[in-house]
Structure 1
Amino acid sequence: MRQDRQGFPAAAAAVAGLALALSLAAPPTIAAEPPPAAVRTLVLEPPAAQATRRFFGRIAARDTLDLAFEVGGRLVSLDAPQGARLAAGTPLAELDAAPFERAVARAELALAQAERDFSRAATLAERDAASRARADDAATARDLAALALEEAREALGHARLAAPFDALVAARLAPAFAFVEPGQAVLRLHDMSRVDVVFELPERLLTEIGDVARARFVAELPGVVAPVPLTLVEIRAEADRIGQTFTVTLALPDAVARDPRLVPGASASVVASVPADAPGIAVPASALVSGPNRDAALFVLEGEEPAIARRRPVTVRSKTGTGFLVEGVEPGVEIVAAGAHRVSDGQAVRRWTGLVVEER
């Protein structure tokens, strides 16, 4: 069978013409509009009458004392269990009293002899049988013997230790039957006559508050349901060298302080409230946008889904650099809280409410 050499070009031209005709007959493609941008929103709350801050604190005793004997000797009694709460005057420890009792007996004998010597010397001096100077020397020896007896009795009294205040035994620092030197600590006691809460106040917050006495403090304690009011005791007028903080001491009420769970070193949260000085409504930093002139603004939502974002100029204040107060909007207004940098004035947006999982 013979085929025309011109058949192939003619067929290709026919196919191309058919494709062109089909393309002209097809309806034009319309690009789909992108969905409104999803943004997280926030309804502005009325400005707070008080500014609050939360701090990490700890329970502390009024004072902590390392108890020691003023004399040396062998420790024969140490009746102070660690963690025990003891009333003031409770016996705690005792040294071997035998050496001190012998010292008292020697001092008593020496005083008796000195008194007899003085009596004889004074009688002889009155009869001019001895010099008056000898009688004076005997009187001095008698007085010295009396002082020696007083010191011996005082040393005997120092051989016993008693709780100087209502105490919590923190630690035993020496074992029983050990020989202790004068001034060597044997017990560590916490003075529980007042229980405090201590926390560190940063310098920038102290500058913001001003007078700490105008702040109201409450504590949130483990095992205590309701917040506990605290009384300001003192603020250390010397900043910590590392953290640049000031130590604030607050006292717990007596009724709460007797709780056996509140031991020195236990954790506590302190909430400080001060009257709000600066006007404005608090907003997150992610809600603020700036324009070409570095003026601040928020995007206020109008309408339902999809809502329209309208740019609203505001005045911004910040004392700490982390919290922001704005003026120019009223409470109850819904704003773009996150994603504001992707929004333009008049843009349609939808409220992002989180991920929704459909179960089938």
Structure 2
Amino acid sequence: MRNNCLRLTMWLIASVMVISGCSKDEPKQTKQPAPLVQLYEVGADTQTTARRFVARVDALSTVDLSFQVSGRINQLVEKQGIVVPEGELLAALEPQDYELALRQAKSSLRKAESDFQRGEELKKESYISDSDYDGLKTNYENAQIAVENAQLNIEYAELHAPFNALITNRLVEKHSFVQPNQPVLRVQNINYLRVHVNVPERMMRMAVEEGPHYQVYLENKAGEKVTGNDGQPVTLSYLEHRTEVNEATQTYRVTFKLPRIKGVELLPGMVLTARIEIERPDAQSWWVPLKAVDTSGQEEFAVWLYDEKTKTVSYHPVEVGVIRDNQAQVKGGISAGQKIVSAGIRQLQENMTVRPFDSAKPVL
């Protein structure tokens, strides 16, 4: 019985081995797909870098206007928020007292002039002394000055717009009695506007060292460039900048000039977006993604060029200059229009076939 069990066990083991051997399939030969890479066209962005900053609109100047004489206000601009052309009347005092003073000064002048003319005739005949003559002459000159002062006081009793003035605030009401130099109106000079932008330290350094060509635009909330009546984007020009850095933000304030443009309603105090487009001055250098630069090969810096005909890549040494903001300045070794691998370079080999990434197509 024991021998029968042993023989049965051996037979079962042999049967399992035979079945296992027969059931083995030949391994399938699966072809690995070409690596997926992302491409970047050199010079596709024409070397223009756009930066956006918060911009605050400001008037050229803000002035508190006041009378140089005292009196009761009988005329005052009625509306705030309007623009009054240069030279137009803004406010005026009751003129009666100053007109009366002018009439009195003119009357005194006529008498002083008559006395002086008579004194000249008497002086010729030596009927009056030199001191009497000098006294008549002094009275005449003082009378002339009194008339000029009275005329000035009448002019001082009116306030005219010193420039195209935006009325921002009436500081007193009509019929109020005001003293000399008491602020009456606050106005802003909007012959052109100032736009302040806080620029990072590294960008100021680049502006000083490289002197790139740039253009400044304003953007609305939709991210579109603000345009004038002619449909063209409104551009800003450089006005001034501060050389003292803001210790809290490490930024410099740069001020741009924005002329008044019909169809563009901008007021001091508004906050917009300034778009600064920078063009690099060196046409022989190109800015590429930093991830496109390979530093793991035999060369210090290289990129992988993509051949559209063969769908392959090749290792290509390049000269790298400045590196900033995840971009590298390639100063030699590539030219505009060439395509390089910008993502996935670690898996590449010489003459390897690759698949360019297309966001419109599925990966698998």
What is aligned with 1:318? 322
Distance change in 2, residues 1:187/1:13 (3 Å): farther
Matches within 5 A, 1:166-177: 166-177=164-175
Distance change in 2, residues 1:15/1:226 (3 Å): farther
The secondary structure found in structure 1 opposite 2:65 is strand
Q: Deviations over 1:197-249 (max 9, x none)?
A: 66566422422443x8xx4747465243323566x5x6426424325536354
Rounded Cα–Cα distance in structure 2 between residues aligned with 1:53 and 1:209: 16
Rounded Cα–Cα distance in structure 2 between residues aligned with 1:348 and 1:86: 71
Letter in 2 for 1:289: D
The secondary structure found in structure 1 opposite 2:354 is strand
2:158 to 157, 160, 176: 160
In the TM superposition, what is the alpha-carbon distance from 1:283 to its structure 2 partner? 1.9
Letter in 1 for 2:39: T
Rounded Cα–Cα distance in structure 1 between residues aligned with 2:181 and 2:197: 32
Matches within 5 A, 1:52-91: 53=50, 63-79=61-77, 81-91=79-89
Q: TM-score if structure 2 supplies the norm length?
A: 0.71
What is aligned with 1:227? 233
Matches within 5 A, 1:99-110: 99-105=97-103, 107-108=105-106
What is aligned with 1:337? 342
In the TM superposition, what is the alpha-carbon distance from 1:95 to its structure 2 partner? 2.0
What is aligned with 1:297? 302
Distance change in 2, residues 1:279/1:330 (3 Å): closer
Rounded Cα–Cα distance in structure 1 between residues aligned with 2:132 and 2:283: 88
What is aligned with 1:287? 292
Rounded Cα–Cα distance in structure 2 between residues aligned with 1:260 and 1:32: 65
Rounded Cα–Cα distance in structure 2 between residues aligned with 1:179 and 1:55: 50
What is aligned with 2:222? none
What is aligned with 1:309? 313
The secondary structure found in structure 2 opposite 1:27 is coil
Distance change in 2, residues 1:66/1:338 (3 Å): farther
- Uncovered stretches (5+) of structure 2, i.e. residues with no partner: 219-224
Rounded Cα–Cα distance in structure 2 between residues aligned with 1:175 and 1:196: 30
The secondary structure found in structure 2 opposite 1:289 is coil
1:183 to 181, 184, 207: 181
CA contact (8 A) 1:310 1:346 kept: yes
Q: Does 1:247 align with 2:254?
A: yes
The farther-off stretch of 341-350 and 116-125 is 116-125
CA contact (8 A) 2:198 2:251 kept: no
The secondary structure found in structure 2 opposite 1:236 is strand
Rounded Cα–Cα distance in structure 1 between residues aligned with 2:214 and 2:333: 30
RMSD: 4.4
The secondary structure found in structure 1 opposite 2:16 is helix
Rounded Cα–Cα distance in structure 1 between residues aligned with 2:56 and 2:29: 64
Q: Deviations over 1:236-268 (max 9, x none)?
A: 26424325536354465xxx7344635455647
What is aligned with 1:207? 208
Rounded Cα–Cα distance in structure 1 between residues aligned with 2:129 and 2:308: 120
Distance change in 2, residues 1:270/1:35 (3 Å): closer
Q: Deviations over 1:125-183 (max 9, x none)?
A: 99999875455445435543443342233122111111233344344343333343433
Distance change in 2, residues 1:6/1:319 (3 Å): closer
The secondary structure found in structure 2 opposite 1:239 is coil
The secondary structure found in structure 2 opposite 1:100 is helix
1:236 to 220, 236, 240: 240
Q: Does 1:19 align with 2:20?
A: no
Aligned pair count reads: 344
The secondary structure found in structure 2 opposite 1:310 is strand
- Uncovered stretches (5+) of structure 1, i.e. residues with no partner: none
Rounded Cα–Cα distance in structure 2 between residues aligned with 1:303 and 1:249: 45
CA contact (8 A) 1:80 1:93 kept: no
Q: Deviations over 1:7-53 (max 9, x none)?
A: 777655554443333333323545856543322223334794x7565
1:151 to 149, 157, 167: 149
In the TM superposition, what is the alpha-carbon distance from 1:93 to its structure 2 partner? 0.8
Letter in 2 for 1:24: G
Letter in 1 for 2:174: A
1:39 to 37, 40, 44: 37
Letter in 2 for 1:88: E
Q: TM-score if structure 1 supplies the norm length?
A: 0.71
